[in-house]
C-alpha cells in the first residue's frame, strides 16, 4: 500500500451457503482481515480506503456474512474517527458476469441449466433481485472512488432492472431456446432475502443512478456463451 492514495479492499468469504458452516473462519478472514488492511492503510498514509460491502449489510439476512460486513463497515467509520483515514463503503447488489466465481448464483444456475436442463431454487419464485453486471459495477466503483462527493459515505451499487427470479428463469429459457425445469424448494430457515435486503437504519446510504448500463438479457446471454465455451472445452456439453 505504500505510495497508494486509494486502496480497494474486495477480498472476503462471500458464499452465504458456506459462511453458516464456518462462522469463526468467516470472522477471521472478513473482519480481522479488514482490520489488518485498515491498519496497513493507516500506517502507509493511504488517503481513502474503499471497502466492498453488500446489500446484505443493510438487513437481517445473510447469516454470518452480513454480520461480518456490518462489523467491517463500523471498522471503516471508526478508523476515520480515530485516525482520520477517509473511507467509502460500496454496498453491491446481485453481481453477475463472465468469469464469475463458481458459487455465483447466475454462473452456477446457468451452468446447471446448460448441462442438465434442471435447477432447484431454494426460495420463492417471487424473490426480487437487482442484478448488476460486474462491468457496470467496476466502472462505477472507480468513478465513486475518484470523486470527493463520496468521501466517508456509504453508496449503493445495484442494478436498475428489478426482476423476480421466476422472470429470470423465463428469460433464460427463451435465450437457451429449450424447455427448462425449475423446482422451488424454500428452506425452513432462509439466509437469503425475499423481497428486499433492507431493514430500517438511520444512516441511509446514497444510491447512484447509472447513466448507462448493460441490459440484463444481454449480460445473461454473454454469461451463457462464456459458460458454454467453457463446457465445450472440457467436453461436458
Gap between the Cα atoms of 39 and 205, Å rounded: 25
C-beta separation of 123 from 192 below 8 A: yes
Gap between the Cα atoms of 159 and 231, Å rounded: 28
Is pLDDT of 60 > 80?
Answer: no
pLDDT per residue as tens digits for the range 104-132: 889 999 999 999 999 999 888 888 888 99
- C-alpha cell belonging to residue 124: 420463492
At 10 the pLDDT is 95
The reply to whether 50 falls in a domain is yes
Strand residue runs (E) in the chain: 6-9, 48-54, 86-92, 94-96, 118-121, 128-133, 153-157, 162-164, 181-184, 206-207
pLDDT per residue as tens digits for the range 78-98: 999 999 999 999 999 889 998
The reply to whether 1 falls in a domain is no
The reply to whether 187 falls in a domain is yes
Split into its structural domains, the chain has a count of 1
At 207 the pLDDT is 83
The reply to whether 56 falls in a domain is yes
pLDDT per residue as tens digits for the range 125-161: 888 888 999 999 999 999 999 999 999 999 999 888 8
pLDDT confidence tier of residue 39, bands split at 50, 70 and 90 = very high
| CATH number (domain holding residue 221) | 3.40.50.720
The reply to whether 100 falls in a domain is yes
Residues 6+ apart with CB under 8 A from 126: 164, 165, 166, 194, 195
C-beta separation of 110 from 148 below 8 A: no
Give the domain extent around 178: 6-234
Q: Which of 15-19, 46-50, 188-192 has the lowest mean pLDDT?
A: 188-192
C-beta separation of 83 from 38 below 8 A: no
More confident residue, 60 or 214: 214
At 200 the pLDDT is 47
Amino acid at each position: 500500500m505504500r505510495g497508494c492514495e486509494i486502496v480497494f479492499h474486495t477480498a472476503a468469504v462471500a458464499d452465504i451457503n458456506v459462511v453458516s458452516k464456518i462462522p469463526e473462519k468467516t470472522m477471521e478472514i472478513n473482519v480481522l482481515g479488514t482490520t489488518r488492511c485498515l491498519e496497513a492503510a493507516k500506517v502507509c498514509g493511504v488517503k481513502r480506503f474503499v471497502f466492498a460491502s453488500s446489500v446484505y449489510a443493510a438487513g437481517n439476512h445473510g447469516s454470518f456474512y452480513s454480520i461480518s460486513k456490518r462489523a467491517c463497515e463500523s471498522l471503516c467509520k471508526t478508523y476515520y474517527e480515530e485516525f482520520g483515514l477517509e473511507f467509502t463503503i460500496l454496498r453491491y447488489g446481485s453481481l453477475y458476469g463472465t468469469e464469475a466465481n463458481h458459487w455465483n448464483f447466475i454462473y452456477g444456475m446457468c451452468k446447471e441449466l446448460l448441462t442438465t436442463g434442471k435447477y432447484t431454487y431454494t426460495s420463492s419464485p417471487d424473490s426480487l433481485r437487482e442484478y448488476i453486471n460486474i462491468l457496470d459495477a467496476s466502472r462505477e466503483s472507480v468513478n465513486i472512488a475518484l470523486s470527493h462527493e463520496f468521501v466517508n459515505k456509504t453508496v449503493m451499487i445495484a442494478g436498475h432492472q428489478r426482476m423476480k427470479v421466476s422472470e429470470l428463469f423465463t428469460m433464460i429459457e427463451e435465450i437457451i431456446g429449450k424447455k427448462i425445469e425449475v423446482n422451488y424448494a424454500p428452506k425452513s430457515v432462509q439466509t437469503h432475502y425475499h423481497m428486499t435486503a433492507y431493514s430500517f437504519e438511520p444512516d441511509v446510504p446514497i444510491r447512484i443512478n447509472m447513466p448507462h448500463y448493460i441490459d440484463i438479457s444481454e449480460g445473461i446471454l454473454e454469461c451463457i456463451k462464456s459458460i458454454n465455451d467453457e463446457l465445450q472445452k472440457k467436453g461436458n456439453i
